[in-house]
Structure 1
Amino acid sequence: MTRTAGPWLLTAPHEPPVRQLPRGPGHPLPAAVLFDRDGTLVVDVPYNGDPARVTPMPGAREAVAAVRAAGVPVGVVTNQSGVARGLLTRRQVEDVRLRVEHLLGPFAVWAVCPHGPGEGCGCRKPAPGLIAAACRHLGVPPRHTVVIGDIGADVRAARAAGARGLLVPTPVTLAGEIEDAEHTAPDLLTAVRLVLAPDKPPQRAAGHVACLPAEEAR
């Protein structure tokens, strides 16, 4: 199995400073929140390189804004195997990133895995490399970081990195992935509210039908 280079780190030229609100003993805010892209922040369009096809998921704008308002850095961790498959270029990945930021606001870091499932990289989720790289860039410990995603690979990557994973299921989320997740939420805005108010018990998501093994498609 061939070893490959690490993830791409995409950042804005001038990142606004983050001023985190004080942490009370009953409400310890995370050091950072990292979001999956496809199926979490934006509607999953397989191998999308067209900014015009970017559509935010319900509640995404409000959810990300709430994290920023709390002074917590936000980032994106995303598998983009379309690059390895010859279906996407780095420029297209960048163009989609810029469109997402136009719609949802700036993110402090994007950690992108451009490798395919068989390349043996350490960054393709469920491996921990994307989360580790994003945390290094932000200067935060993974153990104080929350990762929010829609499939099992997201929460397993968080677990492998020592971060907290939170699953927001969609119709493509497998039933076993929901059962395996320690924390779930029925939608993105609820997920963020749980992250920012950790004394409230997390909810188990229900009623989602498993349709596709989306983990291998990204």
Structure 2
Amino acid sequence: MKLIILDRDGVINHDSDDYIKTVAEWIPIGGAIDAIARLSKAGWTITVATNQSGIARGYYDLATLEAMHNKLRTLVADAGGKMGIIVYCPHGPNDGCDCRKPKPGLLQQISKYYQVPLQGVWFVGDSASDLKAAQAIGCQQVLVKTGKGLRTLEKGIDEQVLVFDDLVAVADYLLQ
């Protein structure tokens, strides 16, 4: 199985320090939907692991989150692709859960769902917490410069982290 795990905000869609609270605010980064569709058509299973503490903070509800994910699925399907499982952490930073990145709980859910180990599986993120979650479970850490990616890069990253401009560049690399 060719599996890839993506963070959502800052990788697939534009991020905001004020949170993405509505479906209207969920705006794909240029080329990201096509990149996902191209990977899917090439036999990749594309999954998403995303922290969504805006739920715990009361900024939006589960129905709104599901509507955002339905928008993602629809856009990818319209481009000829298919999304795999989308897992999310609805908890706040101080809730003590095991699913909020940098903890690996979301990635473990993906591993269990597909019944595959994640060693070497690419996890594409834009933040230090994404990279730490990937490292904790043995994924290949991949940083994109979109979202918080440039800020993350400026703070310094491990030498084994692969760095790309955006999700389009990741797809181009994997499909070459």
TM-score range, shorter chain: 0.7 to 0.9
1:122 alignment counterpart:
98
Q: Distance in 2 between matches of 1:187 and 1:78?
A: 17
1:158 maps to a residue whose letter is: A
1:82 alignment counterpart:
54
1:74 counterpart SS class: strand
Q: Distance in 2 between matches of 1:95 and 1:109?
A: 15
Structure 1 segments of 4 or more deviating over 3 A? 177-181
2:164 counterpart SS class: coil
User: Which ranges of structure 1 fall in alignment gaps of 5 or more residues?
Assistant: 1-19, 21-30, 198-218
Farther-moved stretch of structure 1 (51-60 vs 89-98) = 51-60
Shift of 1:127: 0.8
How many pairs does the alignment contain? 168
- Percent of matched pairs sharing the same residue: 33
Instruction: Choose which of 36, 43, 47 in structure 1 pairs with 2:19.
Output: 47
2:172 alignment counterpart:
193
1:99 counterpart SS class: helix
1:34 counterpart SS class: strand
After superposition, give the CA deviation of every residue in 1:93-143 in whole Å (9 maximum; x if it has no partner): 101111122222342101100011111111111111111101211222111
Equivalent residues of 1:152, 1:181 under 8 A apart: no
Shift of 1:84: 1.1
Taking only aligned residues, the RMSD between alpha carbons, in angstroms, comes to: 1.9
Q: Distance in 2 between matches of 1:171 and 1:97?
A: 18
**Aligned pairs for 1:61-80 within 5 A:** 61-80=33-52
More strand by share: 2
**Aligned pairs for 1:31-180 within 5 A:** 31-45=2-16, 46-105=18-77, 106-170=82-146, 172=148, 173-174=151-152, 175-178=154-157
Q: Distance in 2 between matches of 1:177 and 1:152?
A: 9
Equivalent residues of 1:32, 1:146 under 8 A apart: yes
For the pair shown, which has the larger CA radius of gyration, 1 or 2?
A: 1
Equivalent residues of 1:169, 1:178 under 8 A apart: no
Equivalent residues of 2:53, 2:92 under 8 A apart: yes
2:54 maps to a residue whose letter is: G
After superposition, give the CA deviation of every residue in 1:145-200 in whole Å (9 maximum; x if it has no partner): 21111111111111111111100023633312456662111121111233345xxx
Seen in structure 2, the aligned counterparts of structure 1 residues 196 and 164 have a Cα distance that, compared at 3 Å, is farther
1:8 alignment counterpart:
none
Provide the TM-score with structure 2 as the length reference: 0.86
1:132 maps to a residue whose letter is: Q
**Aligned pairs for 1:194-213 within 5 A:** 194-197=173-176
Q: Distance in 2 between matches of 1:107 and 1:62?
A: 12
